[in-house]
Amino acid sequence: MDIDDIDENEGVNVHFDDSDEEETDAVIDEIKSKGGLHPRDIDAHWIQRSLAKFYKDPIVAQQKVTEVVSILKANDRECENKLVLLLGFDQFDFIKVLRQHRQMVLYCTLLKQAQDDQRIIEMKLRPELHHILAQLQETDDADIVETERAKREKTAQRRAAAAAGEDAVAAGQWLVLDLDELAFSQGSHLMSNKRFGINLMTNSWFVVFCLFRLYRCELPGGSYRQQKKSYEEIHVPALKPKAFLEGELIDICDLPKWAQPAFDGYKSLNRIQSRLYESALNSDEHLLLCAPTGAGKTNVALLAILHEIGKHLNDDGTVKLDEFKCIYIAPMKSLVQEMVGGFSKRLAPYGISVGEMTGDSQMSKEQFMATQIIVCTPEKYDIVTRKAAVYWLVRIFISLICNFLKHL
């Protein structure tokens, strides 16, 4: 990297939080107290963090960084005057640091910004910069030694904790375990076919004992285990359903006479349907039913449809087909076809017409008006109901054009 290309290597604007600025302040305070600056304190954005305290606009701060680096390339006599003119006297402490450590700040900044070893080679060729490289090398060696020392101390602490844990078990005391430290990264890949189905890789039986006490669960009566080749099966018997109370289930014969044909072949409603019978069939209340598959949610929807049908009955029991419409939204197109078949069969005694409206099947206006129950997907319902007024205006406009063309 060439020094003249510093503008291209400054990078994008960097935003620093308060912790970065406090760290820079601490470095400057340390410089004032000790009277020196170490190369390890300077990284690619050290100048920018220092200027961010005085220039809140990141764009302005970035421009100042570029100008400061350009000034630091000049000789010592011109450097101080230009920095004062650029930054002002209110930043004299920072200017003094830059002036005293001009080469260190400049070349350490360029060194941290460099993408290759060209800057190191350039610094080796200049004798006045050898002490900076030496300090950086000493820092790297010291960091390696400190890292190794920290690893040894952590290992010693872990061994001491394991020994203390064994003594605590012998004394009948409880200890707090760090589960993150005890996590087994290989998981079930080393699972054995032992009785309890776990393979713990540990040097301390105390850890095994505590984990067994922690994760042990009591299985209900009638449960049993089966060991397989690479896994273990645990069979738990299903819960016995709660006994029905007298009169809890509603018999189909207790429904209104006109509603019974829709449940042909049924003896009674199930527990969920019986609980919602009054709200679904005899009221206009909103219902929200959450139940698993096979719990009878469709029959609850059928009760709600029968409630709407019951409001449009003639005296002779026939249905006023032109006075109402019901919308049933199914999550998928395959379920739409299934529901159309089911509703058509169960509502046939009422003369109800059930239609399908999905992306694959369209309904003309005549079909729409002749249908009482429309089964559709959420996407199709959204398309049809969104901007409904505009939709019908377009249909009327098309009809007018067709009539006009017929008379030409």
More confident: 233 or 84: 233
pLDDT of residue 4: 42
Per-residue pLDDT reduced to its tens digit, 326-379 = 999 998 888 898 999 999 999 999 999 999 988 888 888 888 888 999 999 988
pLDDT of residue 203: 46
Give yes or no for a contact between 119 and 109, defined as CB atoms under 8 angstroms apart. Answer: no
Out of 111-120, 225-234, 273-282, pick the least confident. Answer: 111-120
Residue 201 inside a domain? The answer is no
Give yes or no for a contact between 234 and 223, defined as CB atoms under 8 angstroms apart. Answer: yes
Residue 285 inside a domain? The answer is yes
Residue 161 inside a domain? The answer is no
- Domain of residue 296 covers 253-386
pLDDT of residue 193: 47
Of 63, 97, 132, the residue that ends a domain is 132
pLDDT at 167 exceeding the cut of 60: no
**Residue % of the chain over a pLDDT of 90:** 20
326-344-276 Cα angle (round to 5): 55
Out of 35-39, 146-150, 167-171, 319-323, pick the least confident. Answer: 167-171
Residue 280 inside a domain? The answer is yes
Residue 238 inside a domain? The answer is no
Per-residue pLDDT reduced to its tens digit, 205-228 = 555 555 555 556 677 888 888 888
Q: Which band of pLDDT confidence, cut at 50, 70 and 90, is reported for residue 105?
A: confident
Of 132, 150, 167, the residue that ends a domain is 132
Residue 36 inside a domain? The answer is yes
Residue 259 inside a domain? The answer is yes
Per-residue pLDDT reduced to its tens digit, 32-67 = 444 566 666 777 777 778 788 778 787 887 888 888
Of 10-14, 92-96, 191-195, 305-309, which has the strongest mean pLDDT? Answer: 305-309
Q: Count how many domains the chain has.
A: 2
Of 70, 99, 132, the residue that ends a domain is 132
Q: Which band of pLDDT confidence, cut at 50, 70 and 90, is reported for residue 23?
A: very low
Q: And the tokens for 248?
A: 């809890």
Per-residue pLDDT reduced to its tens digit, 259-317 = 999 999 999 999 999 999 999 999 988 889 998 888 899 999 999 999 999 999 998 88
pTM of full prediction above 0.85:
no
pLDDT at 147 exceeding the cut of 60: yes
Average pLDDT over residues 20-37: 51
Q: What is the CATH number of the domain that holds 287?
A: 3.40.50.300
Residue 344 inside a domain? The answer is yes
More confident: 373 or 179: 373
According to DSSP, the residues that pair with 234 across neighbouring strands are: 225
Average pLDDT over residues 226-241: 86
